[in-house]
Amino acid sequence: MTGFAAKVIAWQKRHGRHDLPWQGTRDPYTIWIAEVMLQQTQVATVIPYYQRFLKRFPDVAALATADLDSVLAHWSSLGYYSRARNLHRAARIVVLEHGGRFPAEFTAVSALPGIGRSTAAAICVFAFGERRAILDGNVKRVFARHFAVGGYPGDKPVEARLWRRAERLLPKSGIGAYTQGLMDLGAGVCTRGQPECGRCPLRGSCRARQRGLTGKLPTPRPRKALPHRATTMLVLQHAGEILLEKRPAAGIWGGLWCFPEVTADEPVEQACRRRFGARVGAVAAMPAVEHGFTHFSLTIQPQRVRVSGLEARAGEPGTIWLSVDDAQSAAVPAPVKRILASL
């Protein structure tokens, strides 16, 4: 065992996290749910979602047989909704192709939708005791600092160097404590903004610390101007209910319920009558809502529309009238939930 791994394992056993709700189990289903939720989301945010999700979907069969709307509703406001859609697809694959038993082989795990190399490795380590390397964002930071690896870790050549390093450092035993220790160090000690080097078990051999590079490594993502988009959403209200429209599966908020969007060149009254058979009594602008995505920022301009009457016609496919309370508990994205809360 390398000195690096031995120090991480010893530190994790004394100072690491041991009481997270997904620890202390070998159940690959619950570990899988946790690892997917933890992709790009902090532990404190994940815990209540994880607990509610497992209460509703306690095993892979329950998740596979649920409708996607229910899955998305239990994911609402956690963000990166493709993770929830991939969980649902993967659960059905496990039932159909693996007899309802979560696969134990790394290649089969990594072939499931939404599971990359590092997530598959973490599942196999914690559920099956496999000796696999992980390399999530926190672990990249630990390696980049300790071994003074320059370059943005998201670039393929830099990432490949970090993977080679991760593979070489794997201990012969204690893989669970080692893997958890790397996660714990990255999340609580070797943090992005204010690393607590005095608490780090690797401080004596950390090259970034020795060279005064802790604040410069890992190399940040090259700055690019974030594109900005704007949209208008219609908050149609009639008889104590509001109208929601299901978004296409592809694109942002795929499969979630949102307020209808309109183009800037079509009058609100015309759009409401054409699309929903709604006669408009009054229209009033609500405060704009700002929302950030990884690759762009979005300004939503909600227009509150008082509907004076509805034409007798078949309901528009993919639309539903709900009370505000029911809408808030549906599968809606965070900015829509904020608008609902203001009604």
Sequence-ordered list of residues with C-beta below 8 angstroms from that of 242, at least 6 positions apart, any chain: 235, 236, 259, 321, 322, 323, 324, 327, 340, 343
Domain borders along the chain are 3-210, 228-341
Query: Percentage of residues in the chain with pLDDT exceeding 70?
Result: 98
CATH classification of 3-210 is 1.25.40.10, yes or no? Answer: no
Predicted confidence at residue 77, as pLDDT, reads 87
The residues carrying an active-site annotation are 35
pLDDT tens digits, residue range 144-173? 999 999 999 999 999 999 999 999 999 999
- Topology of domain 228-341 in CATH is Nucleoside Triphosphate Pyrophosphohydrolase (3.90.79)
**Coil/strand/helix, residue 305:** strand
Q: How far is CA 19 from CA 23, 24, 180, in A?
A: 7, 8, 12
pTM of the model: 0.86
Taking only the tens place, the pLDDT of each residue in 183-232 is: 999 999 999 989 999 999 999 999 999 999 999 999 998 888 889 999 99
Helices (H), the chain: 3-15, 28-37, 43-56, 60-65, 68-75, 82-97, 106-110, 117-128, 137-146, 156-168, 175-188, 207-210, 268-276, 324-328, 334-341
* Residue that is written with structure tokens 């970034």 in the block: 208
Instruction: For residue range 249-269, list pLDDT tens digits in order.
Output: 888 899 999 999 998 788 899
